[in-house]
Amino acid sequence: MARAMGILLVAGLVLTGGALLSGQAGIQRSAYHDYRVTTVVDGLMNPWSIAFLPGGDMLVTEKPGRLRIVRNGTLLPNAVEGVPAVQSEGQGGLLEVVPHPQFATNRLLYLSYSKPGVGDRTANTAVIRGRFENDRLTNVEEIFESVAQGRGHYGCKLVFDGKGYLFITLGDRQVPPTGNLEAHPAQDLSNHHGVTVRIHDDGRVPADNPFVGREGALPTIWSYGHRNAQGMAIHPDTGDLWQNEHGPQGGDELNLVQPGKNYGWPVVGYGVNYTSGTAIHAGTHREGMEPPVHVWVPSIGISGMMIYTGDRFPQWKGNIFVGGMAGEQLARLTLDGQRVVNEETLVQRMGRIRDIRQGPDGLIYLAIDNRQGRTSPILRLEPAETTR
């Protein structure tokens, strides 16, 4: 009930912007830290995910199917060899890249992507891992493939928790909610439409997953009733699993994801049908379905997400950062326990923010995903000393 009541507080949250400080071009003001936005590297095509390696290299996935290396501030000209073929169409392509928690010793790298399906240009969400050495990917093996085909809403976010389990988001594959909302595939545990998956690092199913041994349910499922989660992070202090979920027209959500819980899509929610604006849901709340901790109405087109732990912006420690694509903004959310108590809007009108990562230097890195065939940059937020 407490979290449901938290939704009612959204309208009262304080939203402050990233306006330029007078007389100091390039410096932007925020509630606690003024900052500059600088370009780290440019020339990328639809960058989707950023990962930092122990040696200092930055890896970036390009949705058309390339894994790129940024070394010493320079984008290397050649893509990494050994990446599997992807179906780069619409929302599909090469998506998330995440190193294993023990990458420094095992060199294992994980990639999620849209794996070409059978006929009608459909594709599955799949996850592979391989050894990344000498700028090549070798010993590649598939450790997961979804039981759900479609043309969009791949999910594909990856995160390891502190125990070494791998979580994967899977979208509802754009199955339209019509007729009996409870009969939508995202409410059906026999497939991977609109779920969070939890597996071991080699693809095995953990014995304590919530639906292990339940007839008619896939044992890999951790939570269900999602639309298309595009951001995911583990809280470094509490171990809580947070996700942001891309809603329809309006109704982007931030969810605290717990094992075995139903997050309601499409039965409950805050969005409406595209173009027509007509109702989708039976309501915003229902017994047995988890309400979001925070919503964006209208939608900002949520994307990547991180929880800041660095020292360069000390007043932002523990804050959740969420990228906005359609909204071209960065949302900074302040938590009080498991409640969102404040939202600040940063980095406005600088492009569609696809991914957000904290670098080993404690700075904040953004992947900008331009459209219409234009190349895109990786940006960085740096502290700016100003006089108030």
What is the per-residue pLDDT across 285-303, written as a single tens digit (0 to 9) for each? 999 999 999 999 989 999 9
Evaluate whether residue 160 is within a structural domain: no
Exposure on the CB side of residue 39, measured as CA atoms within 13 A: 11
The predicted structure's pLDDT at residue 373: 77
Strand pairing report for 136-145 and 158-160: unpaired
Q: What is the mean pLDDT of residues 228-245?
A: 97
Q: Which of 39, 106, 143 is nearest to 375 (CA)?
A: 39
The DSSP symbol for 85 reads P
Evaluate whether residue 79 is within a structural domain: no
Sign of the Cα pseudo-torsion (311, 312, 315, 317, in order): negative
Reply yes or no on whether the pLDDT at 42 is more than 80.
Answer: yes
Q: What is the overall mean pLDDT for the chain?
A: 91
Catalytic residue among 33, 100, 153, 246: 153
The predicted structure's pLDDT at residue 170: 97
Evaluate whether residue 31 is within a structural domain: yes
From edge to edge, which strands make up the β-sheet containing 58-62?
A: 47-52, 58-62, 66-71, 74-75
**CA separation for the pair 110, 173 (Å, rounded):** 22
Tokens of 67: 């894994």
- C-alpha distance from residue 152 to each of 171, 180, 362 (Å): 8, 22, 34
The predicted structure's pLDDT at residue 25: 42
Check: CB of residue 15 under 8 Å from CB of residue 330: no
Question: How sure is the predictor about 119, in pLDDT bands with cuts at 50, 70 and 90?
Answer: low
Q: Among this protein's residues, is 281 annotated catalytic?
A: no
**CA separation for the pair 204, 214 (Å, rounded):** 17
Q: Is 316 exposed, middle or buried (0-12, 13-18, 19+ CB in 10 A)?
A: buried
Q: Domain limits at 32?
A: 1-46+300-388
Question: How sure is the predictor about 386, in pLDDT bands with cuts at 50, 70 and 90?
Answer: low
The predicted structure's pLDDT at residue 167: 98
**CA separation for the pair 199, 224 (Å, rounded):** 15
Check: CB of residue 167 under 8 Å from CB of residue 126: no
Q: Which amino acid is at 234?
A: I
**CA separation for the pair 268, 144 (Å, rounded):** 29
Question: How sure is the predictor about 22, in pLDDT bands with cuts at 50, 70 and 90?
Answer: very low
Check: CB of residue 156 under 8 Å from CB of residue 113: yes
Least confident of 110-119, 140-149, 358-367: 110-119
Which element (helix H / strand E) includes 28? Answer: strand 27-28
Check: CB of residue 116 under 8 Å from CB of residue 123: yes
Question: How sure is the predictor about 10, in pLDDT bands with cuts at 50, 70 and 90?
Answer: very low
Q: Which of 24, 35, 22, 93 is nearest to 350 (CA)?
A: 35
Tell me the Ramachandran region of residue 174: left when phi exceeds 0, alpha when psi lies from -120 to 50, beta otherwise. Answer: left
**CA separation for the pair 240, 250 (Å, rounded):** 26
Reply yes or no on whether the pLDDT at 137 is more than 80.
Answer: yes
Reply yes or no on whether the pLDDT at 135 is more than 80.
Answer: yes
Least confident of 20-29, 33-42, 202-211, 379-388: 20-29
**CA separation for the pair 139, 42 (Å, rounded):** 30
Evaluate whether residue 333 is within a structural domain: yes
**CA separation for the pair 228, 174 (Å, rounded):** 9
Question: How sure is the predictor about 23, in pLDDT bands with cuts at 50, 70 and 90?
Answer: very low
Which residues partner with 51 through β-bridges? 59
Reply yes or no on whether the pLDDT at 1 is more than 60.
Answer: no
Question: How sure is the predictor about 7, in pLDDT bands with cuts at 50, 70 and 90?
Answer: very low
**CA separation for the pair 202, 141 (Å, rounded):** 9
Report the domain count for the chain: 1
Check: CB of residue 80 under 8 Å from CB of residue 57: no
Check: CB of residue 69 under 8 Å from CB of residue 58: yes
